[in-house]
Amino acid sequence: MTARIHRNADPERGSTLLELLVALVVLSIGVLGVSGLFPAGTRVQVRDRLRTEASQFSREKIEQLHNVALTDPSLTTGRHPATPEVLGEAGGLRRYYDVELLAAPLDNLRKVTVSVTWTQVRACTVQAVTYLSQ
């Protein structure tokens, strides 16, 4: 019985361990770079959701105040309510509104500024302004 020894005719055939390690390092750097985008995307999504929710709550209050007579106590000059309303799914939104009397010749108008604030992610405020007349 004769033993056969096969020698590779092409020494460049296949890849070396060093080449595989370099490829893994390059791939790992790419994966780490992409993985950093996910937390940033989540923060932006939460911020935008809170801003949308705050805008909706401010419009809701303005619609409620348009149906109230100017003689109603809720439209006296100053901040209402004294303690801001707690709103939202997590209770992180606070809503209040300020009523101002305008000077003559616009003394039949009241300027109402509705503010909704929150401190999640970072402190922000959404304001909506309307003018009410008799």
Q: What is the pLDDT of residues 29-69, one digit of tens each?
A: 988 888 877 777 788 888 888 899 999 999 999 999 999 99
Confidence check: pLDDT of 81 > 90: yes
pLDDT given for residue 45 in this prediction: 86
Confidence class for position 10, pLDDT limits 50, 70, 90 = low
To the nearest whole percent, how much of the chain has pLDDT over 90? 51
Residue 60: Cβ within 10 Å count? 15
Q: Residue 111 has what pLDDT?
A: 96
Domains located in the chain, CATH noted: 18-133 (3.30.1300.30)
CA nearest to 80, candidates 113, 57, 110: 113
Q: Which two tokens stand for residue 78?
A: 């100053």
Token couple for 67: 């149906």
The pLDDT of residue 98: 97
Highest mean pLDDT among 7-11, 76-80, 116-120: 76-80
pLDDT reported for residue 121: 72
